[in-house]
A and B are shown apart, each in its own frame.
Chain A
Amino acid sequence: NAGVTQTPKFQVLKTGQSMTLQCAQDMNHEYMSWYRQDPGMGLRLIHYSVGAGITDQGEVPNGYNVSRSTTEDFPLRLLSAAPSQTSVYFCASSPKGQGFVRAFGNGTRLTVT
Chain B
Amino acid sequence: GQQVMQIPQYQHVQEGEDFTTYCNSSTTLSNIQWYKQRPGGHPVFLIQLVKSGEVKKQKRLTFQFGEAKKNSSLHITATQTTDVGTYFCAGPPYYGGATNKLIFGTGTLLAVQP
Interface string of B20-52 (1 = CB under 8 A from A): 000000000011010100000111110010000
Contact: B101 with A42, CB < 8 Å? Answer: no
Contact: B100 with A42, CB < 8 Å? Answer: no
Q: Which residue of B lies closest to A4 (CB)?
A: B42
Interface string of B79-105 (1 = CB under 8 A from A): 000000000101010000011111111
Chain B residues within an 8 Å CB radius of A40: 9, 106-107
Chain B residues within an 8 Å CB radius of A33: 100, 102
Question: Counting CB contacts under 8 A, is A94 at the interface?
Answer: yes
CA gap between A88 and B105 in the complex, in Å? 16
Interface string of A33-51 (1 = CB under 8 A from B): 1010000111111001010
Contact: A44 with B104, CB < 8 Å? Answer: yes
Chain B residues within an 8 Å CB radius of A31: 100
Contact: A99 with B1, CB < 8 Å? Answer: no
**Which of A18-26, A65-73, A79-87, A102-110 binds B?**
A102-110
Chain B residues within an 8 Å CB radius of A97: 99
Q: Per a CB cutoff under 8 Å, which of B9, B35, B48, B104 touches A99?
A: B48
Q: How many residues of A contact B (CB 8 A)?
A: 25
Which range contains the number of B residues in contact with the other chain?
20 to 34
* Known contacts A40-B9, A59-B1, A99-B92; is-contact A106 B104 (Cβ 8 Å): no
Residues of B within 8 A of A (CB): 1, 4, 6, 9, 30-31, 33, 35, 41-45, 48, 88, 90, 92, 98-107
List, sorted by A's number, 22 A–B pairs whose CB atoms are closer than 8 Å: A31-B100, A40-B9, A40-B107, A42-B105, A45-B101, A45-B103, A56-B98, A58-B101, A59-B1, A59-B103, A90-B42, A94-B100, A99-B33, A99-B48, A100-B33, A100-B45, A100-B48, A101-B45, A101-B100, A102-B45, A104-B42, A106-B42
Other CB < 8 Å A-B pairs besides A45-B104, A48-B98, A97-B99, 13 of them? A35-B104, A40-B9, A41-B106, A42-B104, A43-B43, A45-B101, A50-B100, A100-B45, A101-B43, A101-B100, A101-B102, A102-B45, A107-B42
